[in-house]
Structure 1
């Protein structure tokens, strides 16, 4: 059986190598610190041991990639990333919100890098681990790192997110590993037709957003003429609350509506800023 351990500094690296540890990983708080990562990279010079790099605590893709590149620069060729979710000031059901899009973009930027999901740290609760694991597999991640303990109730730390060995076995047995694609003609034809519809709808969405932004520009000109500041907090709250209400009636989640309208609102602010300062 292989052994793995977390290293956070040079001493950890030396001790792990001395004791013959097979795999090292760099934790989220360490990967957020380029100086610490570089010190670890320097300590790994000349040793090609598998190293896994967890995402930084905050959703900073460039910082994550930077940590990976620093370790690769030390000559490490057996590299992987661990997606363990991100801290958030918002209250959610997760210990660390997944923000799957960050891991998806990492895969796009580094397609040959294995990405392993840590559903235990994302979940913070044992009852969420299976669903997160399944979603990770459905999104094409390459493996899972799951915390386990014979009796989580007496674990020294993180007991709430740990599974018993039997529960891990059940998870492995029940999780579905789906294929990436299919050569089935009926499937491919149906998918092409549906994607064509999506493409048309996307064009409609962009056209609507363009019309909205044209109105935003007119509002910006009116504010400039009357010496009015850009942000109108009451109006913004009205927009977001109305959007949530209408979105809910159409089966859309508050989280999605907030992200969508915050992006639109930010672009509106950017446009009006240009107008007021022109």
Structure 2
């Protein structure tokens, strides 16, 4: 597979004629301020040359846009005024599920005081059991927006269905959950939305499959993707999932995209969340996303893994110590 990075303002009409007259397949994408043409197979791409091409790169990996083979410098994602992928380790925190306005505002104010930069909260909840709490839907998004307005923190929340795209136009960062990590139609539609995306790794996805999933979003000319390791399913039962820190760092060696860790879901128990969060930061995560509830024991979802605001504050102080040792900031 080849990537042609085109010269700024160049006339591409001759190049397009050459591509159309060849037997090559191609896709044109506007991304990171560049016009890029992806061409395959290699045997056909090698024959194509044109004055409009600035850089021609052969990409070996099956996720050309996400690969650091063509984009060497790390990508920094802006969610309003919050930058992910730079010197700062960004923490998103909030309830697993938005239950009501009071609960959400209480948590939002508490996590901001402790140092969180983004507010997370589930409005649409993918639940294994159809009789479990499914979230407040659009009303939940409105509650998150109100909490965002009061605290100044941008919101990240999960979308489950392409039919809800319009609801998410007011959301600052759209999350694709593990169960939808290979919902290719949803990935494309969220890519077209143009907003920053937090893409969780599917619980049975390899690192390469995870990165190929991100390619669906990037190929819609949306380069604002943060990859999130949230634990994979293995034979181990002492934790809810296995947090694949090795896989997370392997991904960082293959891509220019920033990487996030979700210590809450693989922990499954709040007493494990601190250690998994600290290990993720020490390993090089650019972002953490952590579940916090004012009264976890009565939470409508994932009650056993959510931290209290007090525990979250202790964790933030510990994160600051680790981050300082690494020469980064929170």
Q: What do residues 217-252 of structure 1 show as CA deviations (whole Å, max 9, x unaligned)?
A: xxxxxxxxxxxxxxxxxxxxxxxxxxxxxxxxxxxx
Give the whole-Å Cα distance in 1 for the aligned partners of 2:289 and 2:204: 20
Give the whole-Å Cα distance in 2 for the aligned partners of 1:105 and 1:44: 24
1:98 aligns with 2:248: no
Residue 129 of structure 1 aligns with which residue?
273
Residue 153 of structure 1 aligns with which residue?
297
Larger of the two Rg values belongs to structure: 1
Q: Which has the higher strand share?
A: 2
4+ residue segments displaced more than 6 Å: none
1:12 aligns with 2:164: yes
Kindly tell me the number of residue pairs found equivalent between the two proteins. Answer: 173
- Give, in angstroms, the shift of residue 153 of structure 1: 0.6
Residue 24 of structure 1 aligns with which residue?
174
1:65 aligns with 2:211: yes
Alignment of 1:233-248 (within 5 A): none
Alignment of 1:263-278 (within 5 A): none
TM-score, normalised to structure 2, is 0.50
Give the whole-Å Cα distance in 2 for the aligned partners of 1:101 and 1:172: 23
Judge conservation of contact 1:138–1:178 (CA < 8 Å) in 2. no
Give the whole-Å Cα distance in 1 for the aligned partners of 2:191 and 2:217: 8
CA RMSD of aligned residues (A): 1.6
Give the whole-Å Cα distance in 1 for the aligned partners of 2:212 and 2:296: 35
Give the whole-Å Cα distance in 1 for the aligned partners of 2:308 and 2:263: 15
Q: Which has the higher helix share?
A: 1
Give the whole-Å Cα distance in 1 for the aligned partners of 2:199 and 2:164: 15
Instruction: Describe the SS at the equivalent of 1:76.
Output: coil
* Pair 1:178–1:59, CA change in 2 (3 A): farther
Residue 75 of structure 2 aligns with which residue?
none
Alignment of 1:99-114 (within 5 A): 99-110=244-255, 112-114=256-258
1:3 aligns with 2:155: yes
Instruction: Describe the SS at the equivalent of 2:290.
Output: coil
Judge conservation of contact 1:123–1:132 (CA < 8 Å) in 2. yes
- Give, in angstroms, the shift of residue 59 of structure 1: 4.0
Residue 89 of structure 2 aligns with which residue?
none
- Give, in angstroms, the shift of residue 99 of structure 1: 2.2
Instruction: Describe the SS at the equivalent of 1:90.
Output: coil
TM-score, normalised to structure 1, is 0.59
Structure 1 unaligned segments of length 5 or more: list them.
182-278
- Give, in angstroms, the shift of residue 53 of structure 1: 0.4
Instruction: Describe the SS at the equivalent of 1:14.
Output: helix
Give the whole-Å Cα distance in 2 for the aligned partners of 1:89 and 1:82: 21
